[in-house]
Chain A
Amino acid sequence: MKKKYVYVAVVSTIIICGVSIAAYTTFTGVNIFSPTSLGGPRHDYTGGATINFHDMDDTTYNNITGDYRPTYSNLSDDEYEWIFDDLPSFPDDFFDIVKLIYEGKFVKFEDLADNYYLQPEFYVGWFGIYTNNYPENDPDMWAVEGYGFFPLIKEISVGRGQTFESNCYFRTAFGVETYQGLVIRPYFPATGKDMLGRDLFTQSEDVGDYLNVKITNPDDKLYTSFKDEIMYDNVADSDWMVVLKPTYTVLNDKYGNFLRYKGFYDDWVRLLTIQIDVAENTPPGEYVVALEVLPPCFEINQEYYFSTSREYYGMYYHPVSQIAKSNIPNYQLIIVVE
């Protein structure tokens, strides 16, 4: 009889542990299992390139901002307000969560509250850049273009016949003064690449027969002319246009005298969601979906340049150029179909 109780106790404990772990993993997005215990990613995606991680863990209360934002020795009290005032409060566990993300242990980007990914401190380069771009910004120069995706590469495994969504963050670079108009287009590159641009695998030329890809968020599809209310006929249905907000704006008085500058808008980073349908007859193997960034068409640009009914017009509207290029896509989603 006693033995029976022991069995029941053991099994109950195991079940409770299992349910707890599953619930924790599901609801927090934190993978408590070491990635290497599952065998690691399919490829060495870094290729030897060095990625800098966060090494801060400052959770000191900041009396100026009234939250846990780090203190910056060269910012005045006013500048804290100018730069960060539109952003949500800085959480006290910010660096703990960010560390988990950079270590690949928190992967449910759609569940991450915006008071994490909207903070410039989320992006490692910020700490070395903010001085030049904000308190010591050079009035003889202006940053016209700059954007980035995070993370650079994701690898996922899925079964045939599944539909799933994957997310990344898309943001303006620091100190950019323009409203950048751009079209984001998913495409199937010929190869998956590592960070150095070397080919890791070649995907089937028939990939388009098996994977159907579309961007589902942000959902502000700007294909209809806001002036004439007609559809642009030269923007494909799979393309998405986004206007990225500036991250540095000079505010002058009516005489042109400098009053102050403004830093971040509350939507300077966008959560980008890609939905992928994997056909039932997809051959098992590796596939890659990438995102490319293109300038909007002439008609859209004309509208933004010359409209005075929107906040972004005239010289502050900048359709992204295609002069800046990288040897790897802005974002790669490696899909392993099992």
Chain B
Amino acid sequence: MKKTKKLCVYGIGLLLLLSFVGYASADGSNVTVTWIIPADLSIAITYPTGESQIVFEPGSKTFSEEQARNQHTGAAGMNIENDGNTALQINFTFADAWYDAGLANFNCSVDSYNNATLKVYWTNSNETANHTVVANLAISASEDFWFWSTGTDCTESAIGEDTETLEVWYTNV
């Protein structure tokens, strides 16, 4: 009887050992356990056809509510689509203080060209403010954004343009 028990213990031990040998090759050699968090964090950024960024081309140094190039009621200045499998919060912020002190105001409307819904402002005194523009962008959903800017006696850099970086922050919710 003792012998039977002994054999059974050896057998079970061997079974467990062999099972873990299988586990050990789970993700390449020598890896013992792999846990996967099957999330897919991805967005697609869309612009009016031909654009790859938001561009303003005012006709003079002083301008008011100048809208982004090629945006119109049927084409948002930017669209963000949730391509993954978790809902996202979308925030906008400028990376740095504006290069051009003459740039007085930059605003963005969400969902509607005519600013009927949320409108977000940055001025030359709070240009790095972080604004939530979409609290919950569902999986597969997308959101349109239209952009305008206002400036007074704006200057140009040596290469004839001024670049400000608007950052799009997307986070799981």
Residues of A within 8 A of B (CB): 3, 6-7, 10-11, 14-15, 17-19, 21-26, 29, 31, 33, 35, 38, 40-41, 45-47, 49-53, 101-104, 107-110, 123-125, 127-129, 132-133, 138-159, 162-167, 171, 173-176, 178, 195-197, 315, 318, 321-328, 330, 338
Contacts and interface: CB of A to CB of B under 8 A. Distances in A.
Contacts of A195: 37, 39, 86, 172
A52 B40 CA distance: 9
A175 B11 CA distance: 55
Given A26-B25, A51-B85, A140-B74, A151 B43 contact: no
Interface stretch (B47-55, B57-65, B99-107, B109-117): B47-55
B28 A164 contact: yes
B37 A144 contact: no
Interface residues of B, number: 69
B39 A152 contact: yes
A107 B170 contact: no
B160 interface: no
Contacts of A147: 42
B44 to A, nearest CB: 3
18 contacts: A3-B4, A7-B3, A10-B7, A18-B16, A25-B23, A49-B172, A50-B86, A52-B86, A101-B36, A142-B46, A145-B52, A151-B37, A154-B36, A164-B29, A164-B31, A175-B81, A327-B169, A328-B172
Nearest to B165: A323
A118 B19 CA distance: 31
B96 interface: no
Given A45-B37, A141-B46, A330-B41, A321 B53 contact: yes
